[in-house]
């Protein structure tokens, strides 16, 4: 366990914004994670838990408490059989994409469409990470945690996590990045096979050259997802300023079927809402936040000099001086162009959120955790 004073949150997040912290602790084992969290709690200090920093937008004033950086590593096969599948335990700090790569290489089925997502494994159940028709909740069996209120380790079975779209009980008990339950390890259950789960995302199926709900080789699905994400600036690349972001900044809004036709035109993309097991939920429909942003007049690169929302009469450079913009590849990502501060990112997010509401009456909700700032 390593303690360092006065680093910057900009160094710990994929947006590269955020001010200094009082104390930084890098915890590389479960024991070190528990010890660091317990020490901060006993000292009465504010606590911020950081993994890969890909789902965090931190304020310019920084954090006047302890930042615990989860850096534990390890993939362990607990049980494997052709009949029961594989039970896999992954340390909270392990790279998520490395886990996906392991499952594909070892013919474990269920998270191949979650390739290329930055961050650590411990963050995935909190947010119920999902993409291209899959959600991590569909393969989670149990999550091991440290309960800060009770001062002890415990675990949650799948049913106790109350997963929903980009949500979980773990997230609902987290305040300003400070969780009641600190994830120590995630336990997965996978089936075995060479082929993916049925592909339920039209763009992915088209890229693979298959029909919806058909299966494809695991490696092909992983590569297709990586290609699609890279084309949208959603795979981290130091030379590409579009990737200095939190990925998708807004969740796709879910609206009641009773009002959807009064909000968006018939040609607006619509997607089924599914529960934690992947079954359809009746009475609600998921809209595309990217489509709403684009059709409210915020095009790719809005915020850069020369960009303009003609529909609402907003010059892009007036929002954050060109320091922050929508990605030039995808309207759902907000990017640091090199000199942005957290407030520049927040200003851009506010303008986009308010503009979408003005045009469509739909409220966009931010996906990343906001610490030290608000929209």
What pLDDT is attached to residue 262?
Answer: 96
DSSP H or E run through 79: strand 75-81
DSSP E strand stretches across 275-354:
280-287, 308-309, 314-315, 324-326, 334-336
Beta-carbon contacts of 263 under 8 Å, excluding residues fewer than 6 positions away, are: 255, 360, 361, 362
Identify how many contiguous H helices and E strands the chain contains and give both numbers: 10, 23
* 188-210 residues labelled b (16+ CB within 10 A) or e (exposed): bbbeebeebbebbbeebbebbeb
- With a CB cutoff of 8 Å and minimum separation 6, the contacts of 268 are 287, 288, 291, 292, 295
Report the pLDDT value the prediction gives residue 3, as an integer from 0 to 100.
59
Q: How far apart are CA 115 and CA 293, in angstroms?
A: 25
d(CA 246, CA 53): 8
**Bridge partners, 300 (sequence order):** none
Q: Is 206 helix (H, G, I), strand (E, B) or coil?
A: helix
- Radius of gyration, CA atoms only, the chain: 20
Q: Residue 72 and residue 1: Cα distance in Å, rounded?
A: 10
Q: pTM value?
A: 0.92
Does residue 193 contact residue 217 with C-beta atoms inside 8 Å? no
Coil, helix or strand at residue 315: strand
Note down pLDDT in tens along the chain; length 375 residues.
665 556 799 999 999 999 999 999 999 999 999 999 999 999 999 999 999 999 999 999 999 999 999 999 999 999 999 888 999 999 999 999 999 999 999 999 999 999 999 999 999 999 999 999 999 999 999 999 999 999 999 999 999 999 999 999 999 999 888 999 999 999 999 999 999 999 999 999 999 999 999 999 999 999 999 999 999 998 888 899 999 999 999 999 999 999 999 999 999 999 988 887 777 889 999 999 999 999 999 999 999 999 999 999 999 999 999 999 999 999 999 999 999 999 999 999 999 999 999 999 999 999 999 999 999
Q: Which residues contact 368 (CB under 8 A, 6 or more apart)?
A: 55, 56, 57, 246, 249
**What is the reported pLDDT for 278?**
75
Bridge-based pairing state of the strands 47-50 and 2-5: unpaired
DSSP class of 198: P
Per-residue DSSP letter, 159: G
Q: What is the DSSP letter of 6?
A: S
Closest to 183 in 3D by CA, of 264, 126, 261, 138: 126
Give the residue numbers marked as catalytic: 166, 248, 367
| Residue 15: closest CA among 171, 209, 207, 246 | 246
Measured CA angle at 344 (ends 341, 350), to 5 deg: 145
Q: What gap in Å lies between CA 175 and CA 61, rounded to an integer? A: 18
- 218-231 and 96-105 helices, crossing angle to 10°: 150
């Amino acid at each position: 366990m390593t303690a360092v004073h006065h680093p910057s949150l900009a160094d710990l997040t994929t947006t590269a914004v955020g001010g200094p912290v009082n104390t930084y602790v890098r915890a590389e084992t479960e024991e070190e994670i528990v010890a660091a969290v317990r020490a901060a709690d006993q000292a009465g200090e504010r606590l911020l838990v950081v993994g890969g920093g890909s789902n965090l937008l931190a304020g310019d004033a920084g954090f006047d408490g302890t930042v615990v950086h989860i850096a534990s590593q390890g993939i362990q096969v607990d049980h494997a059989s052709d009949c029961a599948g594989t039970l896999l335990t992954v340390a909270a700090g392990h790279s998520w994409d490395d886990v996906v790569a392991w499952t594909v290489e070892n013919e474990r089925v269920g998270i191949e469409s979650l390739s290329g997502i930055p961050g650590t494994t411990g963050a995935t159940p909190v947010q119920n990470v999902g993409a291209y028709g899959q959600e991590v909740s569909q393969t989670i069996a149990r999550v091991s945690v440290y309960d800060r209120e009770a001062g002890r380790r415990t675990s949650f079975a799948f049913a106790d996590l109350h997963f929903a779209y980009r949500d979980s009980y773990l997230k609902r008990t987290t305040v300003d990045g400070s969780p009641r339950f600190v994830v120590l390890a995630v336990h997965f259950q996978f089936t075995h096979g060479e082929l993916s789960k049925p592909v339920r995302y039209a763009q992915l199926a088209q890229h693979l050259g298959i029909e919806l709900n058909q299966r494809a080789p695991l490696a092909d699905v992983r590569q297709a997802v990586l290609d699609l994400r890279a084309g949208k600036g959603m795979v981290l690349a130091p030379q590409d300023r579009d990737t200095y972001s939190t990925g998708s900044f807004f969740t796709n809004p879910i609206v009641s079927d009773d009002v959807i036709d009064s909000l968006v035109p018939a040609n607006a993309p619509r997607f089924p809402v599914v529960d934690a097991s992947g079954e359809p939920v009746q009475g609600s429909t998921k809209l595309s936040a990217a489509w709403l942003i684009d059709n409210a007049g915020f095009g790719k690169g809005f915020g850069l000099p020369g960009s303009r929302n003609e529909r609402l009469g907003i010059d892009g450079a007036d929002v954050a001086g060109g320091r922050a913009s929508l990605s030039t590849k995808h309207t759902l990502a907000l990017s640091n162009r090199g000199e942005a501060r957290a407030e520049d990112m927040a200003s851009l997010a506010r303008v986009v959120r308010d503009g979408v509401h003005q045009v469509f009456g739909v409220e966009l909700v931010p996906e990343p955790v906001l610490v030290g700032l608000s929209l």
